[in-house]
Every structure is written in structure tokens, then in C-alpha cells.
Structure 1
Amino acid sequence: MLQHVQLASTPSPPPDNCTTPSELTYQILSCVMIGQFILGLLLNLSVLYIFIFRYKFWKNKSIFLFNIVVADFLLVACLPIKAHHYLNGERHSPNEVVCKIMIFMLFLNRGASIGFLITLSLDRYFNVVHLGRKNFVKVLKNTPQISVVIWLLLLPLTIPTMLRTFECCNSHGRNKETTSSNMIDTFREIVFFIQIIIPFIILVFCTVRIVNRLRKKTVGDQTKLRRAVCVVLSVVFVFSLCFLPCALARAALLFVRIKDKDGAENVAVQVYDSLEVLSYINCLLDPLVYCFCNSGFKNAYINNFCPPFLKEKLLSADFGMGTTTMTTTTTSGGRIVVMKPVNEK
């Protein structure tokens, strides 16, 4: 009888542990991640092939674009492992080393993708709004070594994921043991939100200034302005779809966890994990940014991977940028000669 009372008084484990709160939800998410892995691997391999063997990124000032591809491969490498855990009913790996490495890789991917996308947007902003002035972004773009520096600067922001043991790599709001532990958890969450919120504010600022510049410019060539608008809007689209929903869901999860609302936490965990899986689609959307950012890459990719009946239509389309034109000339022999635009550097 006493043993029965002791068992009954044992508190139930918190819902935010390594087990999935809903088997069906996480099976669906695992299937989505498998699809993301297959498409992401094929797409990014094709992009990498173009950058190295066809476009030669080091000669065309596309170092930052190439680094985004590298960051996407970090994400793609994590997807089958995470899908495997979801299929086995685990939100994260029960192995501490694997769990920390996975979160480290995902933090590094998110930070690198955001960092290089923001740098591209700032480059467009300075080239349009502050045309003719020397700016640090243009200097950085012409210095390949700066990419290494950016990667090294990202490492300190990912170190908190490796500092201490915590349940299922996700303890904030659960661990109330020591002040140092809570400080580490809090710092990790601050890094998560800062790397999304501050870059989004910068993006909105750049977009508004570039659009205003486009509206005020009534004479001269507006091609560069339209291209700049398309670049920053494409980056804003990637942010709005991939990163912002995940950040909002993370904030909601932390709120219900700190308030000890176990029933709501089960729902919040599933919503957060679902939106986190949605954020992984950035490895599929980044090539859209490449095409808007660099018409030379777009032309090289279309020429190598698109079927012949689509090439002419895609090459002649400017996607609202006014960056490409096609001139078709018929010679006396009846042969059609297509004049392609000069690749943008």
C-alpha cells in the first residue's frame, strides 16, 4: 500500500522531453524532411556545379553567394538524421554528443545564411541609396578572406549549445538548479532571437529605402534599382517564410513552459517543431535569391539544366527586374540568331 502511494505521488515527466507528443505529427514531419533532403541535395549540388565549373564564382564577385550554398549543405546534412529521430518517436537524439552537434550545425547554418543574405542586401542598399560613395560592403565583397572571418565570428554564437548537459538539448524554463545554468540557457535563447529579429529590421529598412529611391528616380536607367528591389524582396520573402514563424513559435513555447502550462506546452511543442521544419525550406529558396541577385548565374543555370523548349522563354524573361533582353535576328539563310545579354558581374 505504501509503495502504491509513493508511485502515485511521483510527478509525471514534463511534456518537453525527447519523446514526441504526437506520433502522427512527427511521422508527417519526417516525410517532409526526407523530401526536403532529396530536393535540397539535388538542387544545391546543381548550384554548386554551376558556381564552380560554369560561373567561376571567384572571378565574378559571387563569394557571398557561394558561402550561402556551403551553409545550405550544413542544413541538408542534418535533415536525414533529424527525420530518423522523428520516425523513432524522438524530438532530438538521446545521445548527448549527437544532440549537441545537430543543434550546433543548425545554429551555424541559420547564422551563416542570415549573415551572408544580410550582407547582400546591404550591398544593394549602398549601391542604390548611397551610389558613388565608398562603403565597407563593397570592400568586403572584393575580399574573399572576409568570408572566413564571418564564419569565425559565427562560432562564438554557437558555442552555448556545447557548454553544458541539458535534457534533450532544450532545457530553458525547465532547469532551475543554478544561476550559471540559467544564464547559459538564456544566452542561447537571446542569440536565437537576435540573429533573426535584428537582421529582419535591417532588411525592412533597406527595402523601404530602396523602394523610395526607385519612386523618386524619374530619369535615368532604373534597371539597377529594380534589380535591387527584387533582391531585397526575395530575401525578405525567405525571412518571412522560414525564420520569423519559427521565432514566434519559439517565443510562444518558452512562454507556456515558464508558466508551467503542460497541456498548452504539448501543442506549442508540435507547432514549434512544425515551423522549424518549415524553416528548413530555406535551402530550396536560396537559389531564388541567386537568380535575382545575379543574372549571370541565372543564365548559366538555365543553359545547363533547363530543357531546350524552356531555355528561350526563361532567358528572355526578366522576372520584373528588367535585367535581360533577347534580340532575335533572322539572317538571309533563314537561321535564327539569339543575342544573349552580357552576364552581370
Structure 2
Amino acid sequence: HKIQPHGHSSLVPTPLTYQILSWVMIGQFVLGLPLNLSVLYIFIFRYKFWKNKSIFLFNIVVADFLLVVCLPVKAYHYLQGERHSPNEAVCKIMLFMLFLNRGASIAFLITLSLDRYFNVVHLGRRNCVKVLKKTPQISVVIWLLLLPLTIPTMVHTFNCCNSHGRVNETYLSNVMDTVREVVFFTQIIIPFIILVFCTVRIVNRLRRKTVGDKTKLQRAVCVVLSVIFVFSICFLPCAIARAVLLFVRIIEIQSAEDIMVQVYDSLMVLSYIDCLLDPLVYCFCNTGFKNAYISSFCPPFLKEKLLSADFGKEAATTATSTTTNSGGRIVSIPTTVK
């Protein structure tokens, strides 16, 4: 039998590191709870997301809120010197929630980016994503499709990324570990490739546009760049760290594994900051939401300045037009429809 390494036990290798991480998560919770509650309030009571075709954005808010709710439990175990709960049921529920919320956040962010891509690069063609946005049941279907991808965290006993090289590892546990790792990396790598593709195509479209207003294209670029920023900060670093951790675990270098366990857990804690960064995406995606949020929560002097600047841009956008001669008549065609 193998000796149980530190990375495979519930106890942390370095208590001080995890105490610091626990306070970081407490800070994320203190900032994230009021922020996400205020965003939920705006979407439901002020902006009425179901009337403004913002159902996908609302689902991202729900995923972020569920993530924020999980943070105190995770922070508590870190303060106790444990990488996860010693209670198997609590451990599985926490991992299930974290995997589900992460998958939902990524899925809806990618959907928003694809919507911007079709609106800009394939303007005039039928946008299937826009059609899906008008159907609330699609959001339910996406959540249900994410459940099978999260089931591997519930099928077999496992402890916080204990994949390949566990004590008394069986063929079934080895298969389940492989499935879970494939799901984890697929959920990050494939969406990132899609994001890069959408960004390159939208930027190229912006460069080729020589006449007319570019506001819509620039806003689309801001949306996909903000999503890439969230991915680069929250998801890619922990995916790279997880790959390195699995490698050193398989080749059984105990000292390197203890270090990589701490690096991986630290980057996972960093990834929880997406519940604070996602509101940036809301602002770039939806001017109506941004104006409703500013009107509700910003102080009067700042509110007037921000709203006047935004309305000034809107007026300039709607005022831009193209004049053409059609059958002897002069027709003014707005270049941007808000």
C-alpha cells in the first residue's frame, strides 16, 4: 500500500497558507454578498430581466450568488486546518456546488460572447443564440445539461483533487478520476478557444469597417475582452496548476506535490473572484442594466456625471446616420439601432 501523501489527506500541508486563504475568502464573501444581492435586486425589481431579453445574464448572477454562499463553509474548513470537510456528505455537496456554479458561469458567459459574435460578424443572418435568449426554458436546459458533467464529483469517494495515485486505487476509481479531469479541463480549454476565435473575428470586422458608426462593434469587442479577462484571471491559472499537480502526483514527488497542492488551492481561491468580476461583464453587455444600477446605488453627484456621459454617447450614436438617394428621395438611415 502507498503511504498517504499530504496532498491526499484532509489536513493542510502548511496551516499559515490556508489561514491566509481563508481570510481572502472571507473578504470575497463580504464584498461579493452585497454586490450580488444588489445585482439581483436590479435585475428583478428595476430592470425586469425577463422583459429585456437578459435571461442569460440573470443566470450568471444566480451562479455567482450560489458561489458566494459556499465561501463561508470553505473558509471555515481552511481555518480549521482542513482542505475539505471531514464529513463526506458535506465535502461532496461543496464540490458539487462549486463545479456546478463554475460550469454554469462559463456556459452563460460563452453564450453571451457567441451572441455578440453572430450579431457583428454574421450580421443579417439568422442568429440562433438570439432566438435562444428569448426562450427562458433554454436556461433550464443548460443547467440540466451541466448536471451530468458534475456527477463525477458525486459518484466515488474522493478528496479535493485526489486524482490518480490515491491509496488502494481501483480500476473504477481510476476511470472516474480520468472522467472528472477530462470534464474539468474541457470546461475551460474549449470555451477559451471559442472566446479567442470570437475576439479575433470581431476585431477583424472592426478593422475592416471604414464607414458608418463603430459603436456597436466596439461594444462587442469590450464584451468579449471582458469575458477573456475573467477567464484569464479566474479559470486558466487554476487549470494550469491542476495539470502540474496531477503530473507531480503521478510521478510521486512528495515535496513538489505539497507545494503544488498549496499553489492549486491558492489559485482556486483566486478563481472565486469571478463573482466580483462578472458585474463588469453585465455593464459592458447591457447599457440598460448599467443605467439602472447607477440610478439606484450611486451617490447623486456621481450619478449625474455617469448618466450624462452615457446619455451623451447614446445621443451621438443615435444621431449618426447615412444619407442615400433612393428613387429621387433622400432617405436618412440610422447606422446604429439601440
Q: Same fold (TM over 0.5)?
A: yes
Equivalent position to 1:123, from 115, 122, 129: 115
Q: Structure 2 CA distance, aligned partners of 1:38 and 1:116?
A: 25
Equivalent position to 1:54, from 42, 46, 66: 46
State the shift of 1:228 in Å.
0.3
Q: Structure 1 CA distance, aligned partners of 2:2 and 2:103?
A: 38
Residue 165 of structure 1 aligns to a residue whose secondary structure is coil
Q: Are residues 1:142 and 2:134 paired?
A: yes
Unmatched 5+ stretches in structure 1: 1-9, 327-343
State the shift of 1:325 in Å.
5.2
Greater CA deviation, 176-185 or 80-89?
176-185
Residue identity matched to 1:141: K
Q: Is the 8 Å Cα contact of residues 83 and 160 (structure 2) preserved in structure 1?
A: no
Q: Are residues 1:45 and 2:54 paired?
A: no
Label 1:29 to 1:169 Cα distance change in 2 as closer, same or farther (>3 A): closer
Residue identity matched to 1:288: L
TM-score, normalised relative to structure 2? 0.90
Residue identity matched to 2:5: P
Which residue does the alignment assign to 1:221? 213
State the shift of 1:315 in Å.
2.3
- The correspondence of residues 1-12 of structure 1 with structure 2, limited to 5 A, is 12=3
Equivalent position to 1:30, from 9, 15, 22: 22
Q: Is the 8 Å Cα contact of residues 317 and 325 (structure 1) preserved in structure 2?
A: no
- The correspondence of residues 79-94 of structure 1 with structure 2, limited to 5 A, is 79-94=71-86
Which residue does the alignment assign to 1:64? 56
Label 1:33 to 1:135 Cα distance change in 2 as closer, same or farther (>3 A): same
Equivalent position to 2:226, from 231, 234, 237: 234
Q: Are residues 1:297 and 2:289 paired?
A: yes
Label 1:111 to 1:78 Cα distance change in 2 as closer, same or farther (>3 A): same
Which residue does the alignment assign to 1:188? 180
State the shift of 1:135 in Å.
2.2
State the shift of 1:149 in Å.
0.4
Q: Are residues 1:173 and 2:172 paired?
A: no
Let me know the Cα RMSD of the aligned residues: 1.7
Residue 174 of structure 1 aligns to a residue whose secondary structure is coil
State the shift of 1:314 in Å.
2.1
State the shift of 1:15 in Å.
1.4
Label 1:18 to 1:204 Cα distance change in 2 as closer, same or farther (>3 A): same
Label 1:290 to 1:31 Cα distance change in 2 as closer, same or farther (>3 A): same
**CA offsets per residue over residues 100-141 of structure 1, 9 Å max, x none?**
000000000110000000000000000000001002101101
Residue identity matched to 1:145: Q
State the shift of 1:73 in Å.
1.3
Residue identity matched to 1:310: L
Residue 38 of structure 1 aligns to a residue whose secondary structure is helix
Q: Structure 2 CA distance, aligned partners of 1:325 and 1:284?
A: 31
Label 1:325 to 1:273 Cα distance change in 2 as closer, same or farther (>3 A): farther
State the shift of 1:171 in Å.
2.4
**CA offsets per residue over residues 269-296 of structure 1, 9 Å max, x none?**
0000000000000000010000000000
Q: Structure 1 CA distance, aligned partners of 2:20 and 2:138?
A: 40
Q: Are residues 1:13 and 2:4 paired?
A: yes
Instruction: Indicate the percent of aligned positions where both proteins have the same amino acid.
Output: 79
Label 1:198 to 1:317 Cα distance change in 2 as closer, same or farther (>3 A): farther
